[in-house]
Amino acid sequence: MPELYKSVLQLVANVENYYNNFMDYVHNLLERNPTLEQWAMERFDIYYEKLEAWFAQDLLPQATELMTAISGGVLVFLGFVGDLLVGIIVSVYFIDAIASS
């Protein structure tokens, strides 16, 4: 297991190098092949438009709903904690009042 852990850490540490090497390879490949470069740029434009539309139409509304649900849950939890603290304080006060009499 320790070797697997070290291997994963090394892989994660080298991700940036792998990415840079891949991007250099692609950049050089596209520079040497103008036809391939044009085809790739057309595809990138198409996929970029699709990604942008997905982001605006699907992801953002879902993220908004998620944040609304989370913030509502947090507010309910904070209200519960506040009620619990008030209950504890009142209970301690009543116990002290009963013990004093």
- Would you state the pLDDT for residue 1? 61
Would you state the torsion angle of the CA atoms of residues 92, 93, 94, 99, taken in this order, to the nearest 10 degrees?
A: 80
Q: Is the pLDDT of residue 11 over 90?
A: no
Torsions phi, psi for 79 (to 5 deg): -65, -40
Q: Taking the CB of residue 40, how many other CB atoms lie within 10 A of it?
A: 14
Which pLDDT does position 89 carry in this prediction? 92
What confidence tens digit (pLDDT) does each residue in 32-83 have? 999 988 998 898 889 989 988 988 888 888 877 888 888 888 888 999 999 9
Of 2 and 56, more confident? 56
Q: Is the pTM of this model over 0.75?
A: no
- The answer to whether the beta carbons of residues 41 and 48 sit under 8 Å apart is no
